Chains A and B, each alone.
Chain A
Amino acid sequence: MSEEVSEPIEVLRLPVELEYQYTAGKSASRFLRGLQQGKLLGQRCPVDGRVYFPTRGCCPQHGVPMAEEGSIELPDVGTLVTYSIVRVPSANIPLELPYVTIQVLLDGADTVMMHVLGECELEDVHMGMRLEAKWKPEEEWETSVGNILYFVPLDEPDAPYESYKEHI
Chain B
Amino acid sequence: MRDVAVVAFSQSPSVRRETDCNEVEILIPVIHELRTNAGITNEDVDFVCSGSSDYLAGQSFAFVSGLDAVGAWPPVCESHVEMDGAWALYEAWVKIQMGYAELALVYGFGKPSMGDLPLTMALQLDPYSVMPLWPDAVSIAALQARLLLDDGVVSERDMAEVAVRDRANAKQNPYAQVKGDFSVDQILADPYLVSPLRKHDCSPISDGASAILLAAGDRAKDLCKRPAWIRGIEHICEPQDLGVRDLKRSRSTEIAAEKAGVRAGKIDVAELSAPFTHQEILVERALGLGSETSINPSGGALAGNPIMAVSADRAVAHATSGPCLQQNLICVLEG
Contacts and interface: CB of A to CB of B under 8 A. Distances in A.
Whether A and B touch directly in their complex, counting CB atoms under 8 A apart, is answered as yes
Interface of A: 12, 14, 16, 18-28, 56-65
A18 to B, nearest CB: 6
B103 interface: no
Interface residues of B, number: 34
A21 B18 CA distance: 12
B295 to A, nearest CB: 35
17 contacts: A14-B128, A18-B120, A23-B19, A23-B111, A24-B22, A26-B20, A26-B22, A28-B22, A57-B69, A58-B24, A58-B28, A58-B69, A60-B73, A61-B72, A62-B42, A63-B32, A64-B71
Given A14-B132, A63-B68, A57 B28 contact: yes
B24 to A, nearest CB: 6
Contact of A22 (B20, B28, B68, B114): B114
A57 B32 CA distance: 12
A58 B123 CA distance: 32
B24 A25 contact: yes
B118 interface: no
Given A21-B114, A60-B67, A65 B28 contact: yes
Contacts of A63: 31-32, 35, 42, 68-72
B72 A26 contact: no
A20 B67 CA distance: 23
B144 to A, nearest CB: 24
B29 A20 contact: no
Given A20-B115, A63-B42, A25 B25 contact: yes
Contacts of A65: 28-29, 32
Interface of B is mostly: helix
Nearest to A28: B22
B290 interface: no
B58 interface: yes
A75 B265 CA distance: 66
A19 to B, nearest CB: 7
Interface in B147-199: none
A23 B21 CA distance: 7
Interface of B: 18-25, 28-29, 31-32, 35, 42, 55, 58, 67-73, 111, 114-116, 119-120, 123, 127-128, 131-132
A57 B25 contact: yes
Contacts of B116: 18-19
Given A12-B128, A25-B24, 5 more contacts: A19-B116, A21-B114, A22-B58, A57-B21, A60-B67
A60 B31 CA distance: 13
Nearest to A21: B114
Contacts of A58: 24-25, 28, 68-69, 71
Given A28-B22, A63-B42, A23 B114 contact: yes
Contacts of B119: 18
Contact of A62 (B24, B71, B115, B131): B71
* Interface core residue of A19, A25, A58, A61 (most chain B CB under 10 Å): A58
8 pairs of A and B residues whose beta carbons are closest in the complex: A63-B71, A25-B22, A20-B58, A61-B73, A60-B68, A57-B25, A62-B71, A58-B68
A57 B114 contact: no
Contacts of B71: 58-64
A62 B128 CA distance: 44
Nearest to A25: B22
A16 B20 CA distance: 29
Nearest to B18: A23
Contacts of B114: 20-23
Contacts of B120: 18
A58 B66 CA distance: 10
B199 to A, nearest CB: 22
B22 A64 contact: no
Nearest to A29: B20
A56 B68 contact: yes
